[in-house]
Amino acid sequence: MKCSTQVFKIGTSNLEEVIRTAARIIQQGGTVAFPTETVYGLGADALNPDAVSKIFKAKGRPLDNPLIVHIADQERLDMVASDVPDSARSLMDAFWPGPLTMIFKRKDIVPDVTTCGLDTVATRMPDNPIARELIKEAGTPIAAPSANISGRPSPTTAEHVISDLSGRIDAVIDGGAVRVGVESTVLDMTPDIPVLLRPGGVSIDQIKEYVGEVLVGYTDRPAGAGEAVRSPGMKYTHYSPETRLVLVMGNSSAVVDKIIGLAREYLDRNIRVGLLVTDETAKTDEMAEYVSPDRVFLLGSRYDASAIASNLFAGLRYLDMEDTDVIIADGSMGIAGIGAAVLNRLKKAADELIEVN
Ligand code: AMP
Ligand code: MG
């Protein structure tokens, strides 16, 4: 699958030209990675089965994990989805463009490879002008999962995309770091009561304001073999650095104590530690004794889940160094708002979960 990957860096005056060139690649059945507000996506024409197959190949994505179809205006929704309830229309008015993916019955125009043969389709409108202009100019819905090798932390910069997919995709549009940093919320709108399949940029409380009841249909750990899942993505390990990841969760002072204890213990055993911690945890005096500063990645304040979300995947990638044996992650942020999505990603990435109180 070797190909040379073009990198288009967005400057002050080349936006239109880049969009035109990238849209042509999509129209011709190629693959283009582009920024959305959540993470970088790897896009191809959602209605072209050969093009969509290239996404699965480039990412090494399991063939039963369906893709989200991105659109640039609400009118396009009716091209790919049917039986859209009024409740979904009010969610669209409130949250589109934005990090909310909704699942509907699919129309036949959407090929099997895009939905992995399901009779439903996941769709959203991204809140990023580069993404929307690209979709408009291509004139077709764009299927776009995260632009990483499957299982790795999602990419939040073009450099992350290049590091995973250079030589495997046709082009990358470099539009700088993304804003949100974790993937979209996935909401199944096909049952009478919507079911939350993945926490993300829009919180369950925000959704409830518009639709009343919402059922929670996800767990924070990969589903066991043979376990029934509503969303195929739930079966797979996700977001993982190659380095062993230990997540410490619970109330903040207990988490800090545990992280210091672990760092000391590992150091005594000559195990090289990286720390993925909130600013407050890093400020603890003892921390500096055990871990050198270049192995500490600051996530942001424990009380600012949005900041943590935007730094999370870059931190997991940064600490995934050859000379680090274990990464200890700080799970002291709450689950309010986007905190639920942050903790979900950390739990899925973790090899070991320690709960303290
Ligand atoms: P990604 O684009 O890699 O962030 O993943 C998209 C997520 O949406 C995965 O967890 C998929 O399993 C899920 N998904 C996509 N289409 C459907 C669908 N039709 N029904 C249920 N889940 C879906
Ligand atoms: Mg992904």
Question: Of the residues 180, 201, 216, which one is the last residue of a structural domain?
Answer: 216
pLDDT given for residue 237 in this prediction: 65
pLDDT band at 221; cut points 50, 70, 90? confident
Question: Of the residues 169, 200, 216, which one is the last residue of a structural domain?
Answer: 216
Domain assignment present for residue 201? The answer is yes
Residues 274 and 169 in one domain: no
Buried b (16+ CB within 10 A) or exposed e, 203-231: bbebbeebbeebeebbeeebbeeeeebbb
Cβ–ligand 1 distance for 183 under 6 Å, the answer yes
- Measured in Å, residue 183 CA sits from the centre of ligand 1 at 11
Of 57, 5, 340, 20, give the one whose Cα is nearest residue 182: 340
pLDDT given for residue 108 in this prediction: 97
Residues 202 and 291 in one domain: no
Q: Cα(263)–Cα(326) distance, rounded to whole angstroms?
A: 10
| Average of per-residue pLDDT across 204-233 | 83
Of 200, 223, 234, give the one whose Cα is nearest residue 101: 200
**Where is pLDDT greater, at 119 or 220?**
119
Cβ–ligand 1 distance for 222 under 6 Å, the answer no
Q: Which of 165-169, 230-234, 268-272, 286-290 has the highest mean pLDDT?
A: 165-169
**Cα distances (angstroms) measured from residue 142 to each of 42, 61, 283, 355:** 9, 17, 44, 41
Of 241, 249, 246, give the one whose Cα is nearest residue 333: 249
pLDDT given for residue 160 in this prediction: 98
Angle at 187 between CA 100 and CA 349, to 5 degrees: 80
pLDDT in tens, 74-111: 999 999 999 999 999 999 999 999 999 999 999 999 99
pLDDT band at 290; cut points 50, 70, 90? confident
- Whether the pLDDT of residue 10 is over 90: the answer is yes
Residues 184 and 292 in one domain: no
**Where is pLDDT greater, at 227 or 99?**
99
pLDDT in tens, 132-163: 999 999 999 999 999 999 999 999 999 999 99
**Domain with 160 in it: what CATH number?**
3.90.870.10
Q: Residues of the chain with pLDDT > 90: what percent?
A: 86
Domain assignment present for residue 46? The answer is yes
Residues 172 and 256 in one domain: no
What order of strands is seen across the sheet that includes strand 352-356? Answer: 296-298, 273-277, 326-331, 244-250, 352-356
56, 68, 107, 195, best to mutate for ligand 1 pocket (most atoms within 8 Å of CB): 68
Residues 126 and 264 in one domain: no
| Average of per-residue pLDDT across 40-60 | 98
Q: Residues of the chain with pLDDT > 70: what percent?
A: 96
Residues 30 and 140 in one domain: yes
pLDDT given for residue 229 in this prediction: 67
Q: For 123-137, 201-215, 231-245, which range has the lowest pLDDT when averaged over its residues? A: 231-245
Cβ–ligand 1 distance for 120 under 6 Å, the answer yes
Domain assignment present for residue 234? The answer is no
Domain assignment present for residue 62? The answer is yes
Average model confidence (pLDDT) across the chain: 94
pLDDT given for residue 339 in this prediction: 96
pLDDT given for residue 222 in this prediction: 66
Residues 74 and 205 in one domain: yes
| Average of per-residue pLDDT across 349-354 | 93
Question: Of the residues 216, 235, 267, which one is the last residue of a structural domain?
Answer: 216
pLDDT band at 321; cut points 50, 70, 90? confident
Residues 180 and 257 in one domain: no
pLDDT given for residue 300 in this prediction: 96
Give Dmax (Cα) for the chain.
61
Contacts of 7 (CB under 8 A, 6+ apart): 158, 162, 171, 172, 174
Q: How many domains, in total, are found in the chain?
A: 2
Residues 249 and 293 in one domain: yes
- Measured in Å, residue 114 CA sits from the centre of ligand 2 at 14
pLDDT band at 234; cut points 50, 70, 90? low
Domain assignment present for residue 193? The answer is yes
Q: Cα(196)–Cα(210) distance, rounded to whole angstroms?
A: 14
Residues pairing with 273 in the sheet:
326
Q: Cα(325)–Cα(330) distance, rounded to whole angstroms?
A: 17
Ligand 1 atom 7 nearest Cα: 233
pTM for the predicted model, two decimal places: 0.95
- Measured in Å, residue 182 CA sits from the centre of ligand 2 at 10
**Domain with 349 in it: what CATH number?**
3.40.50.11030
- Residue 355 backbone dihedrals phi, psi, to 5 degrees: -105, 130
**Where is pLDDT greater, at 293 or 102?**
102
Residues 118 and 211 in one domain: yes
| Average of per-residue pLDDT across 248-272 | 93
Cβ atoms of 335 and 203 closer than 8 Å:
no
Helices (H), the chain: 15-27, 49-59, 77-80, 86-95, 112-115, 129-138, 158-165, 204-211, 252-268, 279-282, 285-290, 305-318, 339-349
The number of CA neighbours under 13 Å toward the Cβ of 339 is 17
Residues 206 and 273 in one domain: no
Tell me whether strands 120-124 and 100-106 are parallel, antiparallel or unpaired.
antiparallel
pLDDT given for residue 84 in this prediction: 97
pLDDT given for residue 284 in this prediction: 80
Domain around 287: 244-356
Structure tokens belonging to residue 339: 């905190």
- Whether the pLDDT of residue 208 is over 90: the answer is yes
Tell me whether strands 171-174 and 142-143 are parallel, antiparallel or unpaired.
unpaired
Cβ–ligand 1 distance for 149 under 6 Å, the answer no
Cβ–ligand 1 distance for 189 under 6 Å, the answer no
pLDDT given for residue 94 in this prediction: 98
pLDDT given for residue 228 in this prediction: 65
Domain assignment present for residue 65? The answer is yes
Residues 133 and 254 in one domain: no
Cβ–ligand 1 distance for 326 under 6 Å, the answer no
Domain assignment present for residue 54? The answer is yes
Domain assignment present for residue 278? The answer is yes
- Whether the pLDDT of residue 35 is over 70: the answer is yes
